[in-house]
Structure 1
Amino acid sequence: MNAVPKVMAHPQFVDTNKLGGPRFLITVDTEEEFDWDAPFSRSAHGTEHVVAISRFQQMCESHRVKPAYLIDYPVANDPRAIELLGGYAHDGRADIGVQLHPWVNPPFDEIVNRDNSYACNLEPALERQKLSVLHETITENFRIKPDIYRAGRYGAGDATADILRELGICIDTSVRSHFDYSSQGGPDYFDYPLSPYWIQRSELMELPITTVFRGILRKMGVSVFRDMLSSKTSRSIMARTGMLERIALTPEGIPLTKAIEGIDCALQDGVPILNFSFHSPSLQPGHTNYVRNEADLEIFYQWWNGIFAHLDKNGVAPISVREIKEAFFG
């Protein structure tokens, strides 16, 4: 079993002073539609929602935002995605990245189950093979070299960094800070930092997905409350009483008012790049629990318009993957 990455005692943070202030990035897990409540399957999925990405892209462009679409194997082979997302990337309106869902990505040499849905639990040689196939597919179909990677289900492991370096990918964004997936067989990122740090100096940067804690106890150090936060009941009580609440910067399950509070906490804590994320099937009703109907979809877009307004009000400018690469890798 490939070990999950260990938190560093003294991470070497990226010097982000050259950015001239806080920035934000949108990373989209651009993946197949599947039943999140059903067992993992190699075939029970679709990519019909791909056409709905155009509305989201148009909204982003109206706010001068260039999202990063992190594409997995089914999407990388969808002709509609190749035309649509490839066009955005070649026009400089968006970036294309890589996202590995092992269960739908060849070679199919592992048993399909929960543990193996995390790439960090595969043998390193198999993780390397799957990532290489995916990288080659994206490079050939989209005629573009991807610079950013996210492990599906955030399942990065100790072998992942070397594989990314071999493929020439310079940014990893698999770390979901303040989340622990170990009870499901996945990584434990609870104590990981929010600011970008070097995994391999000058070659590979970690750009964590932004999740913050707010409440009267957050300055005491959230690790003190780790056991309490592992219980949904305890988390609910602590959030309702204003003691401690975890807020992920995503439109999926986080109301606009809470997300704005999360942005403010991140800015107070000096997070230099706010990394927003969501799953692309949420762009079309009926594929995720977050967007079940047209009314939910309109709330989804209202959420983003509110977020963009708040970021603009606070002087937080957008940044793209290409700009991050230019700033830190030359």
Structure 2
Amino acid sequence: MMRAPRVLHLVSRYRPGESQLDAASAAMQELSPRLGHEVLVTGQHRPAVPPLPRSTLAAIHYLSDGPLGEAARQVALTGWLLRNLHRFTAVQMHDADDQAPLVAMLCKTSGRRLVEGGIPAGTPRQAAAQQLGAYGVRIPTAVAAAPDTELGCDASITDRRFHDAAVFPAGPPLLLTTIDAEEAFNWSHPFSLDARDVVSMRSQHLAHRVFSRHGVVPVYLADYPVAAQDAGRAPLRELLQDGLCDVGAQMHPWVTPPHIETINESNSFAGNLPVALELEKARCLTDTLADTFGTMPRIYRTGRYGVGPRTADILKSLGYVVDSSLAPCWPPPGRRGLPGAWASAPKPYWVDADRTLMEIPVSAALVGRMSGRSGEALAPFLFGPRARRLPIAGGMARLGLLERIRLTPEGMTVPEAKRLVRHMLAGGHRVFSLTYHSPSLEPGNTPYVRDIAQRDRFLAWLDEFYTFFREEVGGRMATWQEVRFGSGATAEQPANTLLDALP
């Protein structure tokens, strides 16, 4: 198995008095946590680092050149690289041209790659912060002009240091229904810019026959192809005008302008994109939805649940108040090994100290007698890609020891959904989020509905589950607004701390 590349970003000659968005923090904010990048800063003064989520970066190192200046820096840098260069596959320099001969020699000697690009010496810091992308790839001026400096650094969907539990008044359990309103595409094929088939939106009325019986008002999280084409937006407009649904946003990067990145598996996760590009795509999607439906979307989901270290800051800057991009127990590729990636669904929580953006996770959990910490430790081996050919997970589920369940009619049975709800209720959960994909209502679009009979069973699943939730659980159907604006905020907020990786 090929290891993910680990890149060392070398930032040299830090000078006091510069903006907090100096070359070091620009690199920190752009790097993907799943790639294990690190930053090494050399200079007389410690950089002023803004409060960022710890998960943004594997580590930040600082070397002082001391009173001896350049000579001391050369010696310190040489020693550090000799001790640590073996941990990296490549080195990239930012504003460190004076170190190039030394670093090039050490990279060549050790067989490490020296990556060209980065922030050249003399580049204004604000412009540098906007231009630096993943692996130092520069993005076009039109996108770089959307300043990353407008974003705060005070929110994170995945870093618990920024989180605060949302407190709700007493009452029955609440159930949200969220639908990924998106184009149909072959899930086993590579991602394509040409995937724009939204004809399945014409079949959404079939589910509304079930919704009307149970008082369900779903929120359609629409992506760009749905909002930009009449075949997608017309059915939603009718439902919206009749008060039968609400509309939010869902980001599929590969079909959302601007199209300047390479379309591949990694870039299908919005959080892997350079921050300026993720911001610009989110802005384009938001504006398109507002123009199409006459109101700004305020609830958001990152397609494929691919949140990044700055996704929460982007959503706050665009006026969103709810995110639903967390998929517990189903970590996307590249995040399966991170701490907490296999943890069961947390309750809704605030992702910032201001309590302006709430995360409402999709309901999912590890269920069974071995659930808990022992289950989370076993989950990567039972449910990871390598375990699919083995019958171990099925045997564990049949014995009632451990199973992974998500609240959806796609690939889950009604008895499984009932076990999930009972398990989460026992754990103190009172807000549940059910989800599915809009193309599932047209046979042949998804693996879950291949013919009319399977679609009938899909709709019957919804009917049976809603009946169970209302009659057996005593719950009621709710909208995302009821959850977001009906919650209290009485929990104590832990103080945010600066990254303490700097000595």
TM-score range, shorter chain: over 0.9
How far did 1:94 drift? Answer: 1.1
Counterpart selection for 1:205 from 353, 358, 376? 358
1:310 to 468, 473, 476: 468
Q: Equivalent residue for 1:134?
A: 285
**Match of 2:104?**
none
1:152-200: CA deviations, max 9, x gaps?
Answer: 0001111111111111110000001122223479987323642001102
> TM-score with structure 2 length normalisation?
0.62
Structure 1 residue 85, shift from structure 2 partner: 1.3
Does 1 or 2 have the higher relative contact order (CA < 8 Å, sep 6+)?
Answer: 1
Q: Is the 1:176–1:189 Cα contact (8 Å) retained in structure 2? A: no
Pair 1:248-2:400 in alignment: no
Per the alignment, do residues 180 and 224 of structure 1 end up closer, same or farther by CA in structure 2, a change over 3 Å counting?
same
The question of 1:76 aligning with 2:235 is answered: no
SS of alignment partner, residue 182 of structure 1: coil
Alignment-mate amino acid for residue 93 of structure 1: L
Asked if the contact 2:396/2:402 (under 8 Å) is kept, the reply is yes
Q: Which whole-Å deviations, capped at 9, do the CAs of 1:96-152 have from their partners, x for residues lacking one?
A: 010000000000010000000000100000000000000000000111221110000
Instruction: Please tell me whether residue 38 in structure 1 is matched to residue 189 in structure 2.
Output: yes
The residue aligned with 1:323 is: 482
Q: State yes or no: 1:269 paired with 2:427.
A: yes
Q: How does 1:1-330 map to 2 (within 5 A)?
A: 1-3=31-33, 6-8=158-160, 11-18=163-170, 20-183=171-334, 189-191=341-343, 193-200=345-352, 201-219=354-372, 221-229=374-382, 230=384, 231-232=387-388, 233=390, 234-313=392-471, 314-328=473-487
Give the whole-Å Cα distance in 2 for the aligned partners of 1:57 and 1:180.
31
Query: Are the equivalent residues in 1 in contact too, given 2:304–2:332 (CA < 8 A)?
Result: no
Deviation per CA, 1:297-318, whole angstroms, max 9, x where unpaired? 0110110111011001111101
Q: Which runs of 4+ in 1 moved over 3 A?
A: 1-7, 182-189
Contact kept, 8 Å, 2:299 with 2:322, in 1: the verdict is yes
User: For 2:456 and 2:200, how far apart are their aligned partners in 1?
Assistant: 16
Alpha-carbon separation, structure 2, partners of 1:296 and 1:227? 30
Structure 2: give runs of 5+ residues left out of the alignment.
Answer: 1-30, 35-156, 490-503
Q: Say if 1:185 and 1:135 are closer, same or farther in 2 by CA, change over 3 A.
A: farther
Aligned-pair CA distance for 1:221: 4.4
Q: Provide structure 1 residue ranges, at least 5 long, that are not aligned to the other structure.
A: none
- Structure 1 counterpart of 2:274, which letter? E
Change (3 A) 1:267 1:299: same
Q: Which moved more, 1:194-203 or 1:245-254?
A: 194-203
- Quick check: 1:198–1:205 contact (8 Å CA) kept in 2? yes
Contact preservation (8 Å) 1:178, 1:191: yes
- In structure 1, distance between residues paired with 2:162 and 2:267: 30
Sequence identity of aligned pairs in percent? Answer: 33
Alpha-carbon distance between aligned partners in 1 of 2:337 and 2:325, rounded to the nearest angstrom: 12
Q: What is the rounded CA distance, in whole Å, between the counterparts of 1:50 and 1:221 in structure 2?
A: 42
Give the aligned residue type for 2:465.
I
Deviation of 1:53 after TM superposition, in Å, equals 0.6
1:239-285 CA deviation, whole Å, 9 max, x = no partner?
Answer: 23321001111000001121111121122222121101111100110
Q: CA deviation at 1:220?
A: 5.3
Residue 316 of structure 2 aligns to a residue whose secondary structure is: helix
Give the length in aligned residue pairs: 329
**Any conservation in 2 of the 1:228–1:235 contact (CA below 8 Å)?**
no
Q: Distance in 2 between matches of 1:192 and 1:158?
A: 20
Contact 1:211-1:248 within 8 A present in 2 as well: yes
Separation in 1, partners of 2:355, 2:411: 36
The structure with more radius of gyration = 2
The DSSP-based 3-state class of the residue aligned with 2:204 is helix
Could you say what secondary structure the match of 1:17 adopts? Answer: coil
**Separation in structure 1 between the aligned mates of residue 220 and residue 238 of structure 2, nearest angstrom:** 12
Matches of 1:6 and 1:274, distance apart in 2: 19
Q: Work out whether residues 196 and 206 of structure 1, in 8 Å CA contact, stay in contact via their aligned partners in 2.
A: yes
| Secondary structure of 1:224 counterpart | helix
